[in-house]
Chain A
Amino acid sequence: MRFMLLQHYAPAENCGVPMHEWRPEDIRAHIAFQQALNAELLASGELVDAQGLSDQAKTVTNTGTAPVITDGPFPESKELLAGYRLVDVESLERALNIAARASAAPGPNGVPIGDHIEVRQVMGAPLPEEV
């Protein structure tokens, strides 16, 4: 089963301070944690992809005439996606377990930030016998 673990730019439960206001040591520890988690999921054969997204966003809307391109949603917006992990795991339980680990990434002074990680199953194609 594939799941998307989505992270947003919204303030975390335990940490409303944007990362550029942390101490550099805390940023480095946070990055090291994320990389170690990715390495572990790669080693366990569960990581499909992990990417961070730029906070520069444009929104395109086309109703059939001329497409309208607007800036945003802006970084303040809770909807702005910051990054994702795509994992291929045995069960929803395992995906939730990975999300729990990711949510507790260290923040200022090493305190777990309590990031809000959204877990969504990636819908697959029907199996041959179900067609």
Chain B
Amino acid sequence: MKQLRELAPQVLGVLVRRYGDFGGAEDAVQEALVAAAMTWPEQGEPDDPRAWLIRVASRRLANQYRADAARRRREELAASWSMHRPPDAELGTDDTLVLMVLCCHPSLRPGAAIPLTLRAVGGLTTREIASAFLVPEATMAQRISRAKAKLREFDEPFRLPTGEDSARRMRSVLHVLYLLFNEGYATSAGAELGRPNLAVEAIRLTRMLLESLSDEAEVEGLLGLMMLSEARRPARTTPDGALVPLAEQDRSRWNRDLINDGLVHATAALRHAPTGEYGLQAAINALHAEAPSHQATRWADIATLYERLERLTGNPVVRLNRAVAVAMVEGPAAGLALLAELERPLGDHHRLAAVRAHLHERAGDRDAAIEGYRAAASHTGNLREREYLLTQAARVATYGCRM
């Protein structure tokens, strides 16, 4: 059924070009995919699966229009669409890319863009997406249909944006994929059987994006970043789900194949100057991947890369990571000095408290470390992280600082 999902954006692209109605076509393709998942295993796969899906989805769409009280409006829509229609648009254009740009519209909240992209481009069913996000199926269906209603208001032609808008829209696509990956990263700890792995989906979609572009350094960077982070997954948690920080991970459990693939993409991202934010993050992760141990990591280079990233993005959270890297080179006091200005922008952000606690511990300041870990535990929204931070506070209180 993997192939089935890969056909989803192609089939949807054909229908949208033919009928000009993204919302209706997307529903019809979803129904066709569900029908295929039910009938193919019993009756065997059709000779031309793509044609089968297009035929079934078109029939569903036609039935829908027939039943639709607002049929006239649809016809008008179809008529207006034909003006947008570029010549020979039926086949050959890369619909995956057009669909991604549409679904990751900057005016949609990420919470709406992510599930819509998973369904329209990723070919996941509403049920699968709902279970991945741990919400009821009806809630997820509603979220997707509201996202589509919003897209309908924009009434964009079904083609790639050009000029300045093109860069802005591509940034939005990358941001949505990045958030999707992070979602997978965060929800993976308690993952139950049968739930789609969102991190793996994000990698798949980013790879599809890369295939439909000829040369895009930031997509290479994002893909490299995702692969290199995902490669550490087996070492990131204990069998009972507790977090294992980078410093304590068993590096022999990192996924070497994924690291090798990730390094290829990270390197490709660095071929173009200036390196973008995803390229820089990929480079940082590449240095971790190549390090024989936490101690023997090229921390000075990592600190420099974080400094560049901080200048590029202005994101105060980047400085937290930079402080950790600087502390590895120059000692905890230098790291703590970097945190001083973060009080205002980050306030009681749990990661500020956690990094500060870590640096206090390395400096041997027991009370400040305990207090920091406790404050961080109190402010995190992630249960696994809270458990980890509470255990850190207890460890320092019981056994003293690990310097």
Q: Which residues of A contact B (CB under 8 A)?
A: 19-24, 26-28, 31-32, 35, 42, 51-52, 54-56
Q: Would you give the shortest CB distance from A57 to chain B, in whole angstroms?
A: 11
Cα A51 to Cα B383 in complex, Å, equals 9
Which B224-267 residues sit within 8 Å CB-CB of chain A?
A: 240-242
Q: Would you give the shortest CB distance from B238 to chain A, in whole angstroms?
A: 9
Contact A27 B386 (CB under 8 A): no
Contacts A27-B390, A31-B242 supplied; 13 other A-B pairs, CB < 8 Å: A20-B374, A20-B377, A20-B393, A23-B394, A24-B391, A24-B394, A27-B387, A27-B391, A28-B391, A31-B240, A35-B240, A52-B383, A54-B379
Contact A28 B383 (CB under 8 A): no
Contact A23 B390 (CB under 8 A): no
List, sorted by A's number, 14 A–B pairs whose CB atoms are closer than 8 Å.
A19-B390, A20-B370, A20-B373, A20-B397, A22-B394, A23-B394, A24-B395, A27-B390, A27-B391, A28-B242, A31-B387, A35-B241, A42-B192, A52-B383
Chain B residues, CB < 8 A from A23: 394, 398
Chain B residues, CB < 8 A from A21: 394, 397
Instruction: Determine the main DSSP class of B at the interface with A.
Output: helix
Q: Would you give the shortest CB distance from A123 to chain B, in whole angstroms?
A: 19
Task: Please count how many residues in chain B sit with their CB below 8 Å of the partner chain's CB atoms.
Answer: 24
B378 adjacent to chain A (CB < 8 Å): yes
Chain A residues, CB < 8 A from B377: 20
Chain B residues, CB < 8 A from A35: 240-241
B87 adjacent to chain A (CB < 8 Å): no
Cα A54 to Cα B240 in complex, Å, equals 21
Chain A residues, CB < 8 A from B373: 20
Q: Give per-residue flags for B23-39: 1 if the beta carbon is below 8 A from chain A beta carbons, else 0.
A: 00000000000000000
B163 adjacent to chain A (CB < 8 Å): no
Q: Which residues of B contact A (CB under 8 A)?
A: 192, 240-242, 370, 373-374, 377-381, 383, 386-387, 390-395, 397-399
Chain B residues, CB < 8 A from A24: 391-392, 394-395, 398-399
Contact B390 A20 (CB under 8 A): yes
Contact A32 B240 (CB under 8 A): yes
Q: Would you give the shortest CB distance from A109 to chain B, in whole angstroms?
A: 13
Q: Would you give the shortest CB distance from A38 to chain B, in whole angstroms?
A: 9
Contact B381 A54 (CB under 8 A): yes
Closest residue to A26 on the B side, CB-wise? B394
Cα A21 to Cα B373 in complex, Å, equals 12
Chain B residues, CB < 8 A from A20: 370, 373-374, 377, 390, 393-394, 397
From A26, A32, A42, A52, B386 is in contact (CB under 8 Å) with A52
Q: Would you give the shortest CB distance from B17 to chain A, in whole angstroms?
A: 43
Chain A residues, CB < 8 A from B192: 42
Q: Would you give the shortest CB distance from B397 to chain A, in whole angstroms?
A: 7
Q: Would you give the shortest CB distance from B44 to chain A, in whole angstroms?
A: 34
Chain B residues, CB < 8 A from A32: 240
Contact A27 B379 (CB under 8 A): no
Cα A51 to Cα B134 in complex, Å, equals 12
6 nearest interchain CB pairs?
A24-B395, A24-B394, A20-B393, A24-B391, A52-B383, A23-B398
Contact B379 A56 (CB under 8 A): yes
Chain B residues, CB < 8 A from A27: 387, 390-391, 394
